[in-house]
Structure 1
């Protein structure tokens, strides 16, 4: 399940009041349709970077992903599809969804070796992607941005089967039909992100692990499209050595040989297998990112305290400092910068951590802009933008471009600022979806620039 989260773009809403700035800036949005796919900026489609960790570490991660639920419940046996996996879309399908699904299925075939194909027009699909209005979906699952359920083929079927063994993943021995539920009235990027994460879980592991730095199987939501690690996990999940119904011990015995065959570069490499984060730390995450003010800071400080007690030096410690920076960004910007800097130092030592570092740089760029340091804001944005393009996060890219444009304007580079704002619009449309949301983000960034020009 992909959770509703403020993590990916939390800075602007966290560090500014409700937007009041008029956004003229010479960028005409009136009368322009935000939703038209021809107006969305396309990403180049590079293959994911190969997994960069040792096989012994990844074997432990595989078992924790495959035999646990996000709730902590154990999954007694491996379940998967046996045979071709067919996919269909139903409901009010958004304009970009079919092309996004086509590209994703192509990646799954070529990078994970899976037999994934469109369902025949007159046949039932293995996986049905059902698009429903957001309000309907939230009434059923309030905390989800999108979700995946076994045993049914539609959102309506799910509502009728809730609470029964039919939709209980722990009761499955083999997967035959699964539904993915995604809002029909959301941005193109959210549709794509939901397809990537929920398709991966419909096909393979169901768990998310906070200690994975290079995966969408992580509730921090920093990675938005499937990574090289994810493709390796899915390829191993469907290795011929495994089959539905195997227990964890049976899979564990076969896994070293599977990973040695699929990822020879990971043999003999160091790496310390990680334990699953304890529930009190996860509860502290929910407090830090689900609240504001002192409660958010208390949650972040508890995250750091538990991380220290656990002896962590990985992404969970970095995420704890990131949370603290976010919680302090309005009340104590200097302390926030110190926390963000600690987070970035850890993230940049981890495989896949460049994406996380780019998120931190966006935070730091916004703080620099709002404190009257436009040249430094440009430096942070310039460091983050190439990474963000590679990771295909249009919402974050648009935000960085808008911050950089405000910084240009603060330095008197008005023409450059206008051009950059215009260039950002395609990414903003893809990332935010509606004209109102694009305008709101532009207004929030403009407020930061105005604050910086007033002297912080």
Structure 2
């Protein structure tokens, strides 16, 4: 399993100048000292609102199949206390984020998991290596997890010989999470959340899940209440190593009713499976090495499939969101229409959620570039709380930067200065290096219409 290296934000594609001379004709780059990095001390998981019958189906589909479609014959998990070790040149902030994550596993998922002391054996090893080294082995991956090995060197030695094949496991005794050590603190944290969770439990991702990190849409960057419920069920005594799908299915209703009594209610909605053709279309639309026209074609195909399936859920909304992303540079009118439709669906389903915040970020960028500063402020104000509550510093910083530019354009300079300063602290966590923060800041500044000096 691996977290895909898919960029979250591409709002600049249709509006940013394409040459240095064009940039010079816009507003001058901001010269400002960066404040200290801001971090999220606590992640708020939120509740789980779906019926247990749906959650049971989600559990089975997450647990007994891999993303590739290969079935997993039985449930496997660690037995006994679990220790997590760290190896390699670790980036700043990793230990703090890891400590918070392990505390959440203990309190929310009730898993006996702790940080390994120096010299102590670890069942899960986190190894940090350069991103280029990682992607030479697994292209397009931001990070990944492999079973039955205790290091990067052991993974390379045994790759392809069956030892690291999840489908051959009868239980879990050790696993290694490979993460990059030269990316932003947020990307490191996101990798820790997803890959350690998959080292512990489910190995699949499902696009139909609106409230989970086990979803390649990358909207949720930290483990949610749903994810913790899945992991708590995974490590409950009712589910044992070696259980088949049928055995787990028979145990889940009573187990989930015990863990999640509020979900013990009837539902008329069955699990609507996602056809492989739609998954393939989305994957190809997001493939960065593919020609723009082909990506747009695949995105349009995903929208067509979603509508033909009669979907009105987050999969249709995400199809439209992807269509908007890949149409920004070539067909801005198509992009705007797709974003509007996507945003309307997300708002109807989930209100002012992180899903809507991603759409509003795109729309606010368009509003800023077209001189609609009041609209840009309104859209960012709608979405800043969701970005903050979802612990997404990159998204939060981007929204604040757009808002600052919109306030500046409206003549509200003091407010703009305060908001911009706030954005930079979050940007240091979300984007990493000072260079990356300044690039994003000046990229967004370039969206604002040229201001004529008097």
Match of 1:402 in 2: 401
Match of 1:2 in 2: 3
Greater mean alpha carbon deviation, residues 16-25 or residues 407-416: 16-25
Q: Does 1:28 align with 2:32?
A: yes
Deviations 1:210-261 (A, max 9, x none): 0100000000000000000000000001110111111100000000011000
TM-score, normalising length: structure 1: 0.93
**Which sections of structure 1, spanning at least 5 residues, go unmatched?**
none
Q: Distance in 2 between matches of 1:263 and 1:19?
A: 55
1:297 Cα offset (Å): 1.8
What SS class does the counterpart of residue 349 from structure 1 fall into?
A: helix
Match of 1:85 in 2: 82
Contact 1:54 1:271 in 2 (8 A): no
Going from structure 1 to structure 2, the CA distance change for 1:13 and 1:87 (only over 3 Å counts) comes to: farther
Greater mean alpha carbon deviation, residues 263-272 or residues 105-114: 263-272
Q: Distance in 2 between matches of 1:52 and 1:301?
A: 31
Q: Distance in 2 between matches of 1:197 and 1:134?
A: 17
1:85 Cα offset (Å): 1.1
The equivalent position to 2:53 in structure 1, one of 53, 56, 59, is 56
1:380 Cα offset (Å): 0.4
Going from structure 1 to structure 2, the CA distance change for 1:279 and 1:369 (only over 3 Å counts) comes to: same
1:275 Cα offset (Å): 3.6
Going from structure 1 to structure 2, the CA distance change for 1:258 and 1:303 (only over 3 Å counts) comes to: same
Match of 1:234 in 2: 231
Contact 1:213 1:353 in 2 (8 A): no
Match of 2:412 in 1: 413
What SS class does the counterpart of residue 445 from structure 1 fall into?
A: helix
Q: Does 1:295 align with 2:294?
A: yes
1:421 Cα offset (Å): 1.4
Going from structure 1 to structure 2, the CA distance change for 1:271 and 1:28 (only over 3 Å counts) comes to: farther
Q: Distance in 2 between matches of 1:422 and 1:271?
A: 49
Q: Distance in 2 between matches of 1:288 and 1:342?
A: 18
Going from structure 1 to structure 2, the CA distance change for 1:276 and 1:140 (only over 3 Å counts) comes to: farther
Q: Does 1:185 align with 2:189?
A: no
1:287 Cα offset (Å): 2.4
Going from structure 1 to structure 2, the CA distance change for 1:111 and 1:204 (only over 3 Å counts) comes to: same
1:271 Cα offset (Å): 5.7
Match of 1:12 in 2: 12
What SS class does the counterpart of residue 176 from structure 1 fall into?
A: coil
1:313 Cα offset (Å): 1.4
**Which sections of structure 2, spanning at least 5 residues, go unmatched?**
none
Q: Distance in 1 between matches of 2:49 and 2:439?
A: 39
Match of 2:126 in 1: 129
Deviations 1:257-292 (A, max 9, x none): 110000010111426233442222122112222246
TM-score, normalising length: structure 2: 0.94
Going from structure 1 to structure 2, the CA distance change for 1:230 and 1:447 (only over 3 Å counts) comes to: same
Deviations 1:169-204 (A, max 9, x none): 001111000000000111000010000000110101
Match of 2:349 in 1: 350
1:45-124 → structure 2 map (5 Å cutoff): 45-124=42-121
Q: Distance in 1 between matches of 2:18 and 2:194?
A: 31
Q: Distance in 1 between matches of 2:30 and 2:414?
A: 10
Q: Distance in 1 between matches of 2:304 and 2:251?
A: 38
1:14 Cα offset (Å): 5.6
Greater mean alpha carbon deviation, residues 322-331 or residues 398-407: 322-331
Deviations 1:402-440 (A, max 9, x none): 111111111112222222211111100100011221121
Q: Distance in 2 between matches of 1:17 and 1:193?
A: 31
Aligned length: 445
Contact 1:16 1:330 in 2 (8 A): no
Contact 1:53 1:269 in 2 (8 A): no
The equivalent position to 2:196 in structure 1, one of 195, 199, 219, is 199
Greater mean alpha carbon deviation, residues 273-282 or residues 207-216: 273-282
Going from structure 1 to structure 2, the CA distance change for 1:79 and 1:15 (only over 3 Å counts) comes to: farther
Q: Distance in 2 between matches of 1:18 and 1:441?
A: 15
Going from structure 1 to structure 2, the CA distance change for 1:60 and 1:17 (only over 3 Å counts) comes to: farther
Greater mean alpha carbon deviation, residues 241-250 or residues 268-277: 268-277
1:90 Cα offset (Å): 0.4
Deviations 1:66-98 (A, max 9, x none): 000000000001000011111010000111000
Q: Distance in 2 between matches of 1:196 and 1:271?
A: 33
Contact 2:43 2:391 in 1 (8 A): no
Deviations 1:310-348 (A, max 9, x none): 221111100111112222323343432221121112222
Q: Distance in 2 between matches of 1:41 and 1:270?
A: 42
Match of 2:380 in 1: 381
Q: Distance in 2 between matches of 1:158 and 1:351?
A: 41
Q: Distance in 2 between matches of 1:130 and 1:13?
A: 34
Contact 1:48 1:228 in 2 (8 A): yes
CA RMSD of aligned residues (A): 1.9
Match of 1:360 in 2: 359
